[in-house]
Chains A and B, each alone.
Chain A
């Protein structure tokens, strides 16, 4: 029952399973238990899901409190709908390993790119903390 129709409110999302994407790139899945006026969220039975390629792994995290400003997007998960079968779930160790490899590969390419640009006299600053600006 939306008490504030005509606007968006998280009241209706309480006690439902959600997926939230945080600003640091993490994906959390859990039951939304409580909110406040800043859209700080309290998640229950949270699981952090890491995706690498077609594989994913779930790390159980318990209870999470997310500060509202760090949320990129939030969406309800339909528990009745059948799961996506394209993705393949693997164990935590494996996915962490995959992630590490992925990060490594990215760093390598980045390094090579920077070197090439430097040779040509160009320099592109790293867009690390973009959303500070």
Chain B
């Protein structure tokens, strides 16, 4: 027997052990013990060999600590007849167990020894050794696997086994991944006393090798547990350094970095996945099952480590400083999902119904209507009867424009307004962007500069809106307010404005409220409500009184009429409620009000007028019903009126306004 060869093999073994440690860490306990009933195997094999072993033993695992296993002198050892003992460096026997294959141990093992008969074929032995080495490298080698390999390498094959699935490589094994024990059983039972050629043995080896390799779940050791002492991840910077000149070799065992903290299911710290996204992914992870159809003997050549490495790389490339800019749709999508889920969790707030598509409702009248005209449409609905054929589209303007020139002018103005709105919107978007991107990294000076720039932009937008064409279209801001996109623009601009500018806008809205309400075909006014609500919240008492006066005494209509109209418009009513609520808040808060002359009288007058209006006419549902309204009314009015008011309000909203 070639001692020198065995020596060399032993040395190689040590190198392998070292490599395994580096790659997989020194964590042994998890796998090595639970799936490793080799101690049971030992007992199983012991009393043998000629009589067949008893029924597959339930391995009473004697305390499965690796060192103890080796040291326990359980089996009576048979001295190997022809193989000399190799002097092994017992360096870290426990650790070495991870790899599993110690040369000397293999040949000390009585199971193996019993199997060795006669002079072992060196060639086959070498092959077995190489195979086991390969298995080790892939973290697969365990004691009994080696035993299995040795078994069939040295032993002879039963004729039955010639047709066994292992040789033919057919997918019988795929039905159920075999444990090492089961495989061993199969092989052991079949290894009786017949001789076969080396080629057959090699083929057998080859097939089992393949089979074993493709049982990643069962046979492989898990990736190492994260070592608490190592840092959690490589920073992106570090990862970048690994490419180019410092790039790791692309061999499969080195390219996944030897950082033991590699075991993550989805790309972990190096990623910028939206948190909602991460949640969804982890949910999916639980439900994910690998399909096990059609066995592919070459599958999973690319290990999980390698896959994760590539995925990590790709995630790094996806990182960006400005996700909202570079990946807008992804961010927006997940923001919306989150918002929806948050809403669902809070319960359905208010009676918010899903937005319905409003189609014009045409009532069929008994009388014959030759022309059906829908409000706001240019043409006529095609109604044909036996009495009159369909009429051609007649574009009839609601208002008669005297000359063609005037028409053109109007169109021109409208176009101007629209294009101006577009330009200002872009400026507003920039302002919002900078406001949203408030990174804490900026220094004091930079932050100030940024704030100034933003403020300048805001004022620019404001002044452009103001000075559009004061002569022509009825005042500042009004032409923009008449367009629905202009309303949206102003609503988004309001949070950025200073209080007095915002107040100006509020006053314009309230003084022109009837006009706005009547010309609001698309019902876009409510978009202004939240912003205006905030402005109202910052009003002083005298300012509030002024605004209320504007609202009530808007020019073309009398007080009564304007109030009626207001009450029948959602936005108008909500605005009114908000103003009253603010007044009540100011009065009841006890703060010094500093009213101007006549303020209180105006206030009480307003209350009475409004109360009278509210109790009589039919109300619509406001956007928000402030809670202190009834308190307000209680203070000034008698009980009966209050009660009437309350029922009127409640019938409109369906809410209980307040317990009285």
Does B bind A? yes
**Does A9 interact with chain B (Cβ within 8 Å)?**
yes
Judge whether A7 and B307 touch: CB under 8 Å: no
**Does A103 interact with chain B (Cβ within 8 Å)?**
no
Judge whether B299 and A15 touch: CB under 8 Å: yes
Q: In the complex, what distance in Å separates the CA atom of A35 from the CA atom of B252?
A: 12
**Does B652 interact with chain A (Cβ within 8 Å)?**
no
For residue A53, which residues in chain B have a CB less than 8 angstroms away from its CB?
none
Which of B267, B298, B300, B302 is most buried by chain A, counting CB atoms within 10 A of its CB?
Answer: B302
Main secondary structure, interface of B, reads: helix
**Does A108 interact with chain B (Cβ within 8 Å)?**
no
Judge whether B314 and A4 touch: CB under 8 Å: yes
Q: Check A5/B281 contact, CB under 8 A, given A15-B296, A15-B300, A36-B250.
A: yes
Instruction: Tell me the smallest distance from the CB of A51 to a CB of chain B, in Å.
Output: 27
Within 8 A of B (CB), among A69-116: none
Contact of B301 among A3, A7, A9, A33 (CB under 8 A): A33
Within 8 A of A (CB), among B560-582: none
B305-326 vs A: 1/0 string, CB under 8 Å?
Answer: 0111011011100100000000
**Does A66 interact with chain B (Cβ within 8 Å)?**
no
Contact of A31 among B267, B281, B298 (CB under 8 A): B298
Contact of A1 among B277, B285, B318 (CB under 8 A): B285
B451-479 vs A: 1/0 string, CB under 8 Å?
Answer: 00000000000000000000000000000
Instruction: Tell me the smallest distance from the CB of A78 to a CB of chain B, in Å.
Output: 13
CB-nearest residue of chain B to A14: B302
Judge whether A4 and B315 touch: CB under 8 Å: yes
Q: Check A9/B314 contact, CB under 8 A, given A33-B301, A34-B301, A34-B302.
A: yes
Q: Check A14/B267 contact, CB under 8 A, given A1-B288, A44-B298.
A: no
**Does A129 interact with chain B (Cβ within 8 Å)?**
no
Instruction: Tell me the smallest distance from the CB of A61 to a CB of chain B, in Å.
Output: 16
CB-nearest residue of chain A to B255: A36
For residue A3, which residues in chain B have a CB less than 8 angstroms away from its CB?
266-267, 307-308, 311
Q: In the complex, what distance in Å separates the CA atom of A4 from the CA atom of B273?
A: 9
CB-nearest residue of chain A to B271: A4
CB-nearest residue of chain B to A36: B310
Judge whether B284 and A1 touch: CB under 8 Å: yes
Q: Check A7/B318 contact, CB under 8 A, given A1-B285, A1-B288.
A: yes
Judge whether B311 and A11 touch: CB under 8 Å: yes
Question: What are 17 of the A-B contact pairs (CB < 8 Å)?
Answer: A3-B311, A4-B267, A5-B277, A7-B318, A9-B310, A9-B311, A14-B307, A15-B296, A15-B299, A15-B300, A15-B301, A31-B296, A34-B306, A36-B250, A36-B310, A37-B310, A37-B313
B-contacting residues of A (Cβ < 8 Å)?
Answer: 1, 3-7, 9, 11, 14-15, 31, 33-37, 44
Seed contacts A9-B311, A15-B298; 6 additional CB < 8 Å A-B pairs: A7-B318, A11-B307, A11-B311, A33-B302, A34-B306, A36-B310
